[in-house]
Amino acid sequence: MTEPSGTAGTDFIRQIIAADKASGKHDGRVVTRFPPEPNGYLHIGHVMSICLNFGIARENNGCCYLRFDDTNPAKEDQDFVDSIMADVSWLGFDWQDQLTHASDYFAAIHDCAVKLIEDGKAYVDSLSADEIRAHRGTLTEPGVDSPHRDRPIAENLDLFRRMRDGEFADGACVLRAKIDMAAPNMNLRDPTLYRIRKLVHQRTGDAWSMYPMYDFAHTISDALEGITHSLCTLEFEDHRPLYEWILDNLELPSRPRQIEFSRLNVAYGITSKRKLAALIDKGLVTGWDDPRMPTVAGMRRRGYTAQSLQTFVRNAGVTKKDKLIEMGALENCVREDLNECAPRVFAVLDPLKVVLTNYPEGQMERLTAANHPNLPDMGSREIPFTREIYIERDDFMEDPPRKFFRLRPGGEVRLRYAYIIKCVDVIKDAAGNVTEVHCTIDPESKSGKPGAERKVKGTIHWVSAAESIGVEVRLFDRMFTVANPDAERDGKAFTDFLNPDSLTIAPDCRIEPGLAAAAPGTRVQFERLGYFVVDIRDAAPGRPVFNRIVTLRDSWAKLERAQLAQI
RNA sequence: UGGGGCGUAGCCAAGUGGUAAGGCAACGGGUUUUGAUCCCGUGUACCGCAGGUUCGAAUCCUGCCGCCCCAGCCA
């Protein structure tokens, strides 16, 4: 693995934290938190936040809470809680004892609300949601005070108690902070602190009939946990004044500082939970863990490694500038990691039969192949060689372009770890499609023999026809046809930009026999093709299904494109 | 047209007044029984634009332009 770029570790947030430690702020403690709402699966954007928060805690001998922001029972679900914990663990982080929920603090948050009411800093508003919106004003016009804004404290206290006790229907009233209806920052125009939701909460059951809003619950939770640095994404920058107002007007045990950074977006993907969920609802993908999804579960099933994801976000950096990072940067991290650890094997995705006419029928040799050409410690394996083999259909061309140095009529090519063969005949069906190629082997060119030193331009992979196993392989491509599907244009929805070829199934692939028993989750390199993983859901014993994780770099494809462009 | 944020090579990103790091991509070349890996080499980026301050500015000031976020009883 390459070292992250030299500046990693010195981003502006880490600089702030280093300065705080140096000045003795918080007695030098560093406490962070990753606060997901359990209303969807984690995606690549969250990976950034997870690595930042847990990474910073680790680097500073601090700790990082995994806190579920479960303040809206209408949207949240235990399923999502489970998936989030599994994803964070898989990514390589440990929250130890620091697993919490905003709901753990509901009583304390309630008491904070009461305190604000008692201090005349919060009031119960009986306006409807529509009326509140109308009173809020617009971006350019100030809002107007609610007629209930100056209710006596005693009345507010009574109303709030009755909200808590379930005396009112959903929407009948809310608790609002009394700040400034003319504030240029919309978040300060008397933001809602509590709303009535007569729903069973997945953790607190029916104990509450009202729930705190994000800003209120989150700020108090941070302070209660002794969070020193509360890191969040840019869209919360406008909320910081409210965060600070809450800290200023309550007596909390600590004073966290909110710092915002930009979200990480990957080109040709989306990271909106709503849109991700829509893809599932519409049946456009098979689920949250569809290997095309930019979710952690999807990328894991796709075969990406946790290490490569960590490297990726670290290389991306931490700044306040909007990022749209090339897919290739992610893929490169995956290749870089897998190149080190994935054993090499042979598989043919689109088989073309080759008959070696001068090789005895019924004969079989076991040839030795290295599991990793650059890492001898990974050992070797034997692969069966027979008279009939399969090669990649792409590796034969009847009328090849310039610089094509694989198999062609009359031409020679090396079968990796085996013999040099020469094409002597091409068999076609009535439609003119090549169905079979006949070749002769050069027996002196067998790998390991002195004659093997003879050079030919190309080397291709192959698999024995009789001694290989048929499997299904799934090939994935980018999910969208445009770099930034989140930015809708011309009134089109993001689903209008779905790539119809994001999934291609190769149903009749052939793999070397030793792979039949590969366990789900096993990652290998199919030589010359790419990295593949045994699917963790659909594999049957003895009959694995493979997902293509990422292709190898392909300078031939690039050359071919360049040649085509010249025509 | 209110408020907040951001603008350094195709994509990320250092730089915090002294004369533009690094990574990825791209392009050359070498090694190679994976057209992979690996290795070597190649970039004047009008530092968004225009003024100003200064001996000197990507870094300070002023004005402008562009992009993103905010009007949930979502987070």
pLDDT tens track for A215-271: 999 999 999 999 999 999 999 999 999 999 999 999 999 999 999 999 999 999 999
Closest-lying nucleotide for A558 based on CA to C1': B35
What integer is the mean pLDDT of A422-431? Answer: 98
Q: Which percentage of chain A shows pLDDT scores above 70?
A: 97
pLDDT digits (tens, 9 = 90+) for A137-164: 999 999 999 999 999 999 999 999 999 9
CA→C1' distance for A187 and B3 (Å): 10
Q: Does the nearest atom of strand B lie within 7 Å of A61's Cβ?
A: no
Q: Assign A414 to helix, strand or coil.
A: strand
Dist CA A348 CA A355 (whole Å): 16
Mean pLDDT over A401-427 rounds to 96
Closest nucleotide to A415: CA versus each C1' = B33
Range A12-261 classified under CATH 1.10.10.10: no
Q: What is the model's pLDDT at position A2?
A: 31
**Catalytic residue of the set A21, A115, A149, A263:** A263
Instruction: Give A74 CA → B73 C1' in Å.
Output: 12
Assign domain A273-343+471-565 to a CATH class: mainly beta
A488 catalytic residue (yes or no) = no
Domain range summary for chain A, segments of one domain joined by +: 12-261, 273-343+471-565, 347-461
What pLDDT sits at residue A192? 98
Residue A302 a catalytic site member: no
Residue A356 binned pLDDT confidence (cut-offs 50, 70, 90) = very high
Q: Strand B closer than 7 Å to the CB of A235?
A: yes
Q: Say if residue A566's pLDDT is above 80.
A: no
Nucleotides of B under 7 A from a protein CB: 1-8, 10-16, 21-27, 33-38, 67-75
Strand B close to A8 by CB, under 7 A: no
Say whether the CB atom of A196 is under 7 angstroms from strand B: yes
Note the CATH number of domain A347-461.
Answer: 2.40.240.10
Closest-CA residue to A35 (of A74, A79, A81, A73)? A81
The per-residue pLDDT of chain A, averaged, comes to: 95
Give the pLDDT score at A492.
79
The ipTM assigned to this model is 0.95
| Torsion angle in degrees (nearest 10) through CA of A370, A373, A379, A383 | -10
Rounded CA separation A110/A562 (Å): 66
A341 CB contact with strand B at below 7 Å:
no
Would you say the CATH fold of A347-461 matches that of A273-343+471-565? yes
Catalytic-labelled residue, pool A195, A273, A414, A548: A273
Question: Mean pLDDT, to the nearest integer, of A168-178?
Answer: 98
What is the DSSP secondary structure assignment for residue A343, as one 8-state letter?
P
A566 touches strand B (CB under 7 A): no
A512 belongs to the catalytic site: no
Q: Measured CA to C1', what is the nucleotide nearest A329?
A: B24
Angle at A308 between CA A305 and CA A312, to 5 degrees: 145
Distance (Å, rounded) from C-alpha A305 to C-alpha A204? 36
Are the beta carbons of A497 and A373 closer than 8 angstroms?
no
Query: CB under 8 Å to A68, separation ≥6 — which residues?
Result: A35, A36, A37, A38, A76, A81, A84, A100, A101, A102, A103
Q: For residue A5, is pLDDT > 50?
A: no
**Total-model pTM:** 0.94
**Would you say the C-beta of A218 is within 7 Å of strand B?**
yes
A528 Cβ nearer than 7 Å to chain B strand? yes
Write out the two tokens for A286: 């098979």
Choice among A21, A25, A37, A467 that is catalytic: A37
